[in-house]
Structure 1
Amino acid sequence: MSVPTSPNASMAGHPYYPPDLVLPGFMPNKTAVPILLMSFAGAAGFVFWTTSVLARTVQPGISKGKLLTAMWFMLCGCIHLFFEGYFARHNGAMPARIDLFGQLWKEYAKSDRRYLTRDSFVVCMETVTAVAWGPLSFVVGWFVIKDSPLRHPLQIILSLGQLYGDVLYYATFFFDESVYGAVYCRPESFYFWAYFVLLNGFWIVIPAWLVIQSTIESTKAFHFAQETAKQRSPK
């Protein structure tokens, strides 16, 4: 990714690119970056721990694979509904937000300033994610714990939705950069690789695997049903 550096970056009054980007009402973050990142990691850890306790209480013999899957969906539910829902609710005033979620979004926006400029695609994508995929993530996570037969069809729907949204998110970023010369990310490689690529990459790799998993399990179930029907049919 080629992002031009500028000696005037420090004069912009904000750390985002391009340096002449206008952010009405911008307020700088008050919390140190390590504390912001540890707060997010701590919240994720709490979700994992809570899910583990719940899962082992409801299904003491739950397998490691199912437990990890349930943890993933419960984390997705919290991120989609609360964190991304926060953005959907406050997208028009993000540059001025200085509460915890606002500061976290402004830190992430160093890799994609569209989150501070009310970009139409990002706002619509995050709103759909919060409203549709947030609640459904909790439902699928619970179905994984309960070993419900509805788990796999809903897992396919949810994971395909996540995968499709993330592919479009990456695609619009690179399309705007290559076709229109848009600059969304700071020039430091850390923000591009750690924030933009790595953090979003989880919603490419894991949903893709879960779609494959559910497809295999659904195929097995249909095959079993077909074989059973053949055995029971009169000859």
Structure 2
Amino acid sequence: MIIDPSLIDEVTIYSLLAVVGILIVSLLASRLLLSSSSSKVDHATFVWFTFDALIHFIFEGSFVYHSTFGRTVNTGTDMFALLWQEYTKADERWGFADATVVSIEIMTVFVDGLLCLLILRQLVKNDPSRHFWIVVISVIEIVGGWMTFAPEWLTGSVYLNTDVWLWHYVYLWFFNGLWVVIPFALIVHSYNAIIKGLRNNNSNNKKQSKKSK
């Protein structure tokens, strides 16, 4: 075989294609649901939170299911179990339902996922209050990433496998890094939007105060 089955097999390919498929759906949703007058930043934000919600509900939701109903990813045989078994090549904790990881993922599915839907609704309505919730969910996701990996770093990364480039740089660094870099950028953007709005409001209040005198 041209592709070494020990590194990239059918499950690997289907798993990566599933992620690409979710990204395509997110791009299409942005075009269909957002106004053409929406800014490029709003379109990019919509794509991210659609992608984020689908990942949380579909992928991570399946992990929570496998890890809380008397089974684990390692004992599953359905396509979602196989997908997560692919990821366990990089981080073994996901295979045997590590309590810390499962706890974080329960919050991710039921809190982050629902907040994503709220923000998408606010983007469609062009509701400026979305910036507050964007900061909230972005902080949660960054903290979630820290709590996922900090315990491993402190204990010598016993369950992390970094010998293979695909598992190390794509699964661990790239995919997890997305939920650090993008939330951080969103925090900066929404913080600036909130501060700008507050300053404009303060400026308008001062002008009205002067006119009333």
Range of TM-score over shorter length: 0.7 to 0.9
**How far apart, in 1, do the equivalents of 2:141 and 2:122 lie?**
18
Residue 124 (structure 2) pairs with residue 145 (structure 1):
yes
Equivalent position to 2:185, from 202, 209, 213:
209
**How far apart, in 2, do the equivalents of 1:147 and 1:83 lie?**
29
Which of 125-134 and 46-55 deviates more?
Answer: 46-55
Tell me by how many angstroms 1:125 deviates. Answer: 0.3
* 1:47 equivalent in structure 2: 26
**How far apart, in 1, do the equivalents of 2:88 and 2:61 lie?**
16
- Tell me the number of residue pairs that the alignment of Structure 1 and Structure 2 aligns: 201
Residue 196 (structure 2) pairs with residue 220 (structure 1):
yes
Equivalent position to 1:154, from 129, 133, 139:
133
Tell me by how many angstroms 1:211 deviates. Answer: 0.6
**CA, structure 1 residues 77+32, in 2 after alignment: closer, same or farther (shift >3 Å)?**
closer
Equivalent position to 1:79, from 55, 75, 100:
55
Tell me by how many angstroms 1:174 deviates. Answer: 1.4
CA contact (8 A) 2:122 2:130 kept: yes
Residue 23 (structure 2) pairs with residue 60 (structure 1):
no
* 1:129 equivalent in structure 2: 108
CA contact (8 A) 2:123 2:130 kept: yes
Alignment-mate amino acid for residue 90 of structure 2 = S
CA-to-partner distance for each residue in 1:165-194, whole Å, 9 max, x for gaps?
11222212212226xxx2332521321111
**How far apart, in 2, do the equivalents of 1:43 and 1:226 lie?**
42
**How far apart, in 2, do the equivalents of 1:74 and 1:124 lie?**
23
Alignment-mate amino acid for residue 158 of structure 1 = I
Q: SS where residue 156 of structure 2 aligns?
A: helix
Equivalent position to 2:89, from 110, 129, 134:
110
TM-score, length basis structure 1: 0.79
Query: What runs of 5+ residues in structure 1 fail to find an aligned partner?
Result: 1-14, 16-29
Structure 1 outlier segments of 4+, above 3 Å: none
**How far apart, in 2, do the equivalents of 1:189 and 1:128 lie?**
30
**CA, structure 1 residues 83+35, in 2 after alignment: closer, same or farther (shift >3 Å)?**
closer
**How far apart, in 2, do the equivalents of 1:227 and 1:46 lie?**
42
CA-to-partner distance for each residue in 1:65-100, whole Å, 9 max, x for gaps?
211110100111111122111111211321122222
* 2:3 equivalent in structure 1: none
CA contact (8 A) 2:26 2:48 kept: no
Alignment-mate amino acid for residue 109 of structure 2 = A
**How far apart, in 2, do the equivalents of 1:229 and 1:42 lie?**
48
Alignment-mate amino acid for residue 65 of structure 2 = R
**How far apart, in 2, do the equivalents of 1:141 and 1:173 lie?**
34
* 1:232 equivalent in structure 2: 208
Q: RMSD in angstroms over aligned alpha carbons?
A: 1.8
CA contact (8 A) 2:93 2:101 kept: yes
**How far apart, in 1, do the equivalents of 2:169 and 2:72 lie?**
27
* 1:190 equivalent in structure 2: 166
Query: What runs of 5+ residues in structure 2 fail to find an aligned partner?
Result: 1-5
Which of 216-225 and 94-103 deviates more?
Answer: 94-103
Alignment-mate amino acid for residue 174 of structure 2 = L
